[in-house]
Structures are given as C-alpha cells and as structure tokens.
Amino acid sequence: MAQQNGDSKKLDIVVVGGGLVGSLEALYLAKRGHRVRIYEYREDIRTTPQVRGRSINLALSVRGRRALKDVGLEDHVINHHGIPMQGRRIHRLDGTTYVIPYDARTNQCIYSVGRNYLNSQLLKESENYHNVQKHFNHKLIEANLNKGSLTFQKTDTKETIPVTADLIIGADGAFSAVRRAMMKQPLFDYSQQYIEHGYLELCIPADEHGGFQMPANYLHIWPRGEFMMIALPNQDCSWTVTLFMPFTNFKMIYSEENLLEFFEKYFPDAIPLIGKDKLVQDFFAGKPLPLVAVKCRPYHVSDKALIIGDAAHAVVPFYGQGMNAGFEDCTILDQLFQKHQENLRAILEEFSLTRWEDTFAISDLAMYNYIEMRDLVTRPSYRLRKAVDDMIFWLFPSLWVPLYNSVTFTTMPYSRCVENRQWQNKVLLYSFIFVGILTAFGAFLRQ
C-alpha cells in the first residue's frame, strides 16, 4: 500500500475528469491521505482502444517529469516507455534534413510518450491507494459550486447521481463543465481563441523489419511557412504525424489527386514513408480538428471548487507544454496543501492569485512558437540567434538560459522565462549597438 501523509485533516474531494491531469491530481491527493473520487465521462481507457481525435503521443519535459517523480512514476515512464528526442530534425523540400539540437550544451531532451499509456499508468497507480474511487461513464451535467454539490449522469443507464464534496477539482479539459459553472460567478474573466489552423493526424508505419523508417530520437518537422507537418516516434516504431494547416487550405484538398499533388509539392519525402494508399485512406478518414486557447481567472470559487489543467488554461500545442503545465498545476497545488496545512480557502486563493500569470505567459509563448516552428526555423536570422544563445549559454550556463531551454528544461515560472528572454534581447541589442559604435569609431580613427 502506498505511503500516506497521516497527520493532517482528511478531506472528501471529487475530481471531475480522469484524463491526464485529473488522474495525476488524484494521486497527489491520495498520497496526502484524502478521500478522492474521480468521475470520468468516458469509459476506462485501460480497457478501450485508442480513439481518433486526440493527439496520440505527447512531448513530456521537465515540469511533467517532476510531477511524475512526486507520484513515483517518472522512472517507469522515462526508462520503460518514453522515446528521447534530442532536437528538431528539419526536412527541407528536397528531402534532405538537418538537426537543431534542443540543448547542445548538456544534451537534455524531451520524451515522446503515448497519451493512452500515460493516462493508463496514472489510473493504474491509483489502484495502490484504498482512498481513491473511480467512476467511469459519468458525465457532469450540473454543478452548484458554492454548495459543493454536483450531478452526474451515467452514460449507459442515464441515471442521475447527486454528489457532494468538501472540494471539487475540475480537470475536465478545454470544454470544462466545471468552468462553465464558474462562469456564472461575478468577476470571473474568460476568453477563448480558436486559431485559423486545424490539425489532422496521419501515421508513418514501422518498416518491414519492424524498425523506425526515420532517425528515431528527434521531433521531425517539415516547416512550410504558412503550415507545417511534425512527427513524433511511437514505441511500436511507427510515427504519429500531425499536419497543422489553415482550415481554408484543408478545404482545397478534396480528392485523391489534389492530396497527392499537395504532398508531392510540399512533403515529397513523406509520401514513400507513409505510403500512397495509406496517406489517402488516413487523410480522408478523419477531418481536421480545431485548436483552442482558453484564458480565465480566478481559478477557484471560495473554498469549494478549483479548475486545473486544460479546464483552467488550454493552450495551443506548439510549445509541447499543455500537459506539462497541467502537471505543474498539480505540483504547485501539492506544495500549497503542504504550506497551508489543508486550509482550503488559503490554498485555493493563493493558487488563483499566483498561477494565472504563468499560464497566460505559456499561452502566449505557444502561439508564438507556431510561427517559429512552421516558418522562422528555416531562416538564417533564427539560426544565428540560436547559435549566439547557445554559445553564451555554453560560456555562462547559470546566467544565460535560452528561452526554449528555460521553458522546457527548468521549472522557472513561465512568466520569468519571458522576462528572462526580454532581458537577453536587451543585452544583445545594447551589445550590438556598442560593437557598432566601436567599429565606426575605429574606422573613423583609421581615416
């Protein structure tokens, strides 16, 4: 039986949503000895096949790893499942590739992990805690957050189930029903933004010997300016390929001929990897899905309810930080439970007050990173800046951490990562001006 914190007050907590963040949060709370009930809309994913429409694999980085370590799963996920990705492998139009390492100095990497696998591991781990109950096929249909009461409907029998709790944690994703109930509260700020681009998942299968068809330890990118395709490796040596593109461009591809024409023009090297027939079949079997970013605050209602993960801050996926930020929510919440000795009002207030700046920051960074991934990476100015950053980082590792590294390989608050970058920009600008003046002055003296 797992170790529990036996000294403090025990609370009755309902977690709405047994996705990645909800099932991790349940483990953190169970470790503290609280009684936790997870209510999840879908069936138990451990016994159902992968559904199309969610990203199949995800990039796990330091913030997510730290949370997994806290609940005893980091080693298993990293060493028995995750596939290290050391950098971006860029595919040019002519099919040649080059590598942009994530961390040339210490070779840190991100890990490709299967969504279903990770979620299953988190749910499986909760079997080790007698104080966690899981209710699948339960959809939240009504909430009175001030009273701590919820109504679920069983998806099979349609029976309604009333539930009360000391604390409700909404981890029910980007279209959260708990957040919808919060929106009725005065002074709740909310905004959402759909970007004009959607995504569609394809697959590069394993080769005839069951091996990878491309070098495995990279996140492969086909940057094409207005749009891009990326590929992350899977355990079975296949690749999950995601095409991100404006919906208007997707609409222009309606027949086998123009799909193949489009791929021959922009991604010729990917056609033999995917296979012509499979490409046509997979492309028309799905439809492009939208990407939404949600910003809101505060994240809590009195001492009764809190939202975390995508329910609180869905971000576009281009920094690979959505899940990592959601996992970090759980870590921060655990620290606040410790700091405030289970005083819910203090915990929820501090979480709301301090977390939004960082989640807003990663939301903006993720929007920016799409432009970097699909366009800027191919430009000499980007590569020059990266080389300068890497060189100074190499010389002064504790003084100069480049933006991508601080977001991905440290737990520096996201808002500090942005401030850090702004400071670095200023230093570089003033240095260039200084060198420019010196050069001009030198030239003047030589005349």
Asked if residue 16 binds ligand FAD (CB under 6 A), the reply is: yes
Adjacency order of strands within the sheet including 300-301: 132-135, 35-39, 12-16, 167-170, 305-307, 300-301
Told to check if 18 binds ligand FAD by CB under 6 A, we report yes
Q: What's the CA gap between 83 and 81, in Å, rounded?
A: 7
Applying CB under 6 A, the site for ligand FAD has a residue count of: 32
Which one among 87, 114, 173, 288 touches ligand FAD, defined by CB under 6 A?
A: 173
H or E stretch including 139? strand 138-144
Shortest Cβ 346–ligand FAD spacing (Å): 24
Per-residue contact flags (x/-) with ligand FAD for residues 323 to 342, judged by CB under 6 A: xx-x----------------
Q: How far is the CB of 55 from ligand FAD (least distance, A)?
A: 3
3-class SS of residue 352? helix
CB of 446 to ligand FAD, least distance (A): 54
Q: Is the Cα torsion angle 335, 341, 342, 346 positive or negative in sign?
A: negative
Contacts of 238 (CB under 8 A, 6+ apart): 203, 204, 205, 206
Cα separation of 108 and 116, whole Å?
25
Residue number with the smallest Cβ distance to ligand FAD:
19
Considering only the stretches 10-18, 78-86, 101-109, 406-414, report the one whose residues sit in contact with ligand FAD under the rule CB under 6 A.
10-18
> Which of residues 10, 69, 105, 139 is near ligand FAD by CB under 6 A?
139
Q: Is 39 in the site for ligand FAD (CB under 6 A)?
A: yes
**Residues in CB range of 362: below 8 A, 6 or more apart:** 313, 315, 319, 321, 325, 407, 414
The whole-angstrom separation of Cα 308 and Cα 202 is: 30
Contacts (CB under 6 A) with ligand FAD, residues 224-283: 242
Q: Is 135 a binder of ligand FAD (CB under 6 A)?
A: no
Residue 121: partners with Cβ closer than 8 Å, 6 or more residues away? 73, 76, 77
Rounded to the nearest whole angstrom, what is the least distance from the CB of residue 347 to ligand FAD in the complex? 19
Contact set with ligand FAD (CB under 6 A): 16-22, 39-42, 55, 58-59, 139-140, 171-173, 177, 199, 242, 309-311, 317, 320-324, 326
